[in-house]
Amino acid sequence: MSGHKRVPTILLEVVASSDLWIWHAFFGVAGSNNDINVLDRSRIFDDVLEGRTPEVNYNLNGNNYNIGYYLADGIYPEWTTFMKTIPRPQGEKRKLFSKYQESQRKDVERAFDMLQSRFAIVHGPARFWDRADLAKIMRASIILHNMIVEDERDTNANPFGPLPSYDDATNDLPPPNLGKENLPSYETYIERIIQIRDRQKHRQLQSDLVGHISSIRNSG
């Protein structure tokens, strides 16, 4: 099947931070897919919908927000969980916002470039590979990439919090907590979907960020 570039395609969706660590990867959707409808198959917002994400609270221009967002390009929908650039921005404030957004969004492009430069098998043609093998190769490449990124970090820093304490009597780690996970009700799940896809909230957040970035620039 042909994708949106009219050639056989399998998409890779990733979320990367400024240190090029890949926090989320979704790979293996073949056929006529693009950045928009791949979201229907991705699990990127499962933690948000099921209430497993860290608490988020911040205030911009007097408006309170309680959900985080990813920087994305213009093809993504106007959801509160995406912050896109402004195409053909008019005015100094909007131009400044677009400049900041686009410069920060290049982190994920750098992560793609790093994957291709480190692993030739990712960069080369894949027409004759089996799709299941391609998925395994991509996952292995991302795991190795993250291992390299972690190794290059400060070895004295522990990004995952304090290490677990050992039981002095048995010299063993304490048993894991295997309690039953509390899943949200159907009504709560639907409410969170509506919250994520709120276009009006997206535009309000974008407007508040435009003003916030401009005020920081002027105060500096």
pLDDT in tens, 196-210: 999 999 999 999 999
Distance of alpha carbon 141 from the chain centroid: 18
Asked if residue 5 belongs to a domain, the reply is: no
CA distances from 95 to 85, 87, 104, 134, 203 (A): 10, 9, 14, 40, 16
CB atoms < 10 A from the CB of 60, how many? 16
Asked if residue 68 belongs to a domain, the reply is: yes
Instruction: Give percent above pLDDT 70 in the chain.
Output: 72
Q: Please give the Cα distance from 213 to 133 (Å, whole number).
A: 45
- Comparing 10 with 188, which gets the higher pLDDT? 188
Q: Please give the Cα distance from 22 to 41 (Å, whole number).
A: 19
Domain that holds residue 133: 10-151+182-219
pLDDT in tens, 92-131: 999 999 998 888 888 778 888 888 888 877 776 666 677 7
Q: What per-residue confidence (pLDDT) applies to 210? A: 93
Q: Where residue 32 falls among pLDDT bands split at 50, 70, 90?
A: very low
Q: Where residue 2 falls among pLDDT bands split at 50, 70, 90?
A: very low
Asked if residue 3 belongs to a domain, the reply is: no
**31-45, 51-65, 99-113, 141-155: which range is least confident on average?**
31-45
Q: Which residues contact 47 (CB under 8 A, 6 or more apart)?
A: 53
Q: Which residues contact 48 (CB under 8 A, 6 or more apart)?
A: 67, 81, 192, 196
Q: What per-residue confidence (pLDDT) applies to 172? A: 52
Strand, coil or helix: what is 116? helix
Asked if residue 127 belongs to a domain, the reply is: yes
Asked if residue 169 belongs to a domain, the reply is: no
Query: Which among 120, 70, 83, 22 is positioned nearest to 205, based on CA atoms?
Result: 83
Put simply, whether the predicted model's pTM sits higher than 0.85 gets the answer no
Q: What per-residue confidence (pLDDT) applies to 46? A: 81
Q: What per-residue confidence (pLDDT) applies to 209? A: 94
Asked if residue 158 belongs to a domain, the reply is: no
CB atoms < 10 A from the CB of 81, how many? 20
User: Is residue 219 a contact partner of residue 69, using CB atoms and an 8 Å limit?
Assistant: no
Asked if residue 166 belongs to a domain, the reply is: no
Q: What per-residue confidence (pLDDT) applies to 31? A: 47
User: Which range scores top for mean pLDDT: 31-45, 118-132, 181-195?
Assistant: 181-195
Q: Please give the Cα distance from 77 to 79 (Å, whole number).
A: 6
pLDDT in tens, 138-180: 888 889 999 998 888 765 454 444 544 545 554 455 555 555 5
Total number of domains constituting the chain: 1
pLDDT at 64 over 90: yes
- Comparing 216 with 219, which gets the higher pLDDT? 216
User: Is residue 67 a contact partner of residue 48, using CB atoms and an 8 Å limit?
Assistant: yes
pLDDT at 12 over 50: yes
Q: Partners of 16 in the beta sheet?
A: 22
151, two tokens: 């190794």
Average pLDDT over residues 18-36: 67
Compute the mean pLDDT over every residue in the chain, rounded to the nearest whole number.
77
Q: What per-residue confidence (pLDDT) applies to 154? A: 61
DSSP 122-144: HHS--TTS-HHHHHHHHHHHHHH
User: Is residue 202 a contact partner of residue 79, using CB atoms and an 8 Å limit?
Assistant: yes
Asked if residue 83 belongs to a domain, the reply is: yes
pLDDT at 20 over 80: yes
